Amino acid sequence: MTPMELWGWPILLGVLGAVFGSFIATIAIRWPEGRGVARGRSACDSCGIPLGAAELVPVLSYLVQRGRCRHCAARIAPSHWWTEVVGLAIGGIAGLAAPGVEGAAGAVFGWLLLALAALDLAAFWLPNGLNAALAVVGLGVGAAGIGAPLAERVLGGVAGFAVLWLVARGYRALRGRQGLGGGDPKLFGAIGCWLGWENLPMVLLAASLIGLAAVLAMLVVGRRVRASDRLPFGVMLALGAWMVWLVPQLLPQPAPPGEVMTWQLAPIDH
């Protein structure tokens, strides 16, 4: 494999990820406020002046401008920078872990999860339309023969939604209050449409461990945590789901059944 083949794909996906990350950051700020994100030119959120091309370069523009608008000197939300970096990392890592079409699919999976996680973190909101898009794209990838078989994805979508919906209903019946947001079961079902039903327990375990780590971190820094405090469980599901997709890509792939490993010995000169 040439250096271009090895690094070209991760670099391309990384650049695309930074661009998508910039758009996702804008969505996370404007969509919960009811502001349009797909109309007109990009503009400063503080002064409203349209931004030029040099001000829209992901990551670099934020660094060059030191996190402030060039026109009014207002502080640019740090979420722009972080979301762009995470989008870049998702694309680059996916391209390195699984070169080719499967890596591109994994990057798309990560970017859609990033959009949902950013909205959940910003506004405790997992939009139905975005959950549906994640599910439909996942089923489409399965229909194209990439990754988990389509039948496993369909079953995963149904099982994922049903499991968390039952958990939410049971918690409400026992405690008399809502324990999960209405978007969490839909997100878990959409994740099942990507990973298949067999991987859902690992996603739920990973999300739970991430949530526990977040609570412990808050306790360590002295923040008081109460049972009624809200946590963006969608963020944990999204992170857990992408980790469950990524880890198998990094492990050595077993030889196909019936394939025998052979060794080639060099001739010995006498």
Cα 197 to the center of its chain, rounded Å: 19
The Cα–Cα gap between 38 and 27 comes to: 9
Within-domain flag for 46: yes
**82 lies in the same domain as 149:** no
Residue 17 structural domain = 1-97
pLDDT tens-digit readout, 65-78:
887 888 787 888 88
Answer yes or no: are the C-beta atoms of 130 and 119 closer than 8 Å.
yes
**66 lies in the same domain as 145:** no
* Cβ-based neighbour number of residue 176 at 10 Å: 7
pLDDT tens-digit readout, 171-226:
888 887 787 889 999 999 999 999 999 999 999 999 999 999 998 998 888 888 77
**144 lies in the same domain as 222:** yes
Within-domain flag for 157: yes
- Is the full-model pTM beyond 0.75? yes
Within-domain flag for 262: no
What confidence tier does 164 reach under pLDDT thresholds 50, 70, 90? Answer: very high
**137 lies in the same domain as 235:** yes
Within-domain flag for 43: yes
CA proximity to 62, closest of 18, 107, 32: 18
| Residues 6 or more apart in contact with residue 257 via CB below 8 angstroms | none
> Terminus-to-terminus CA distance in the chain, angstroms?
35
Answer yes or no: are the C-beta atoms of 196 and 81 closer than 8 Å.
no
**85 lies in the same domain as 135:** no
Within-domain flag for 267: no
Structural domain count, the chain:
2
**202 lies in the same domain as 145:** yes
**79 lies in the same domain as 144:** no
**93 lies in the same domain as 156:** no
Within-domain flag for 114: no
List alpha helices for 42-149, DSSP H: 60-64, 78-97, 101-123, 128-143
**146 lies in the same domain as 93:** no
Is the pLDDT at 262 greater than 60, yes or no?
no
Nearest-10 crossing angle of helices 101-123, 233-250: 160
Within-domain flag for 269: no
Answer yes or no: are the C-beta atoms of 206 and 243 closer than 8 Å.
yes
Within-domain flag for 120: no
**82 lies in the same domain as 168:** no
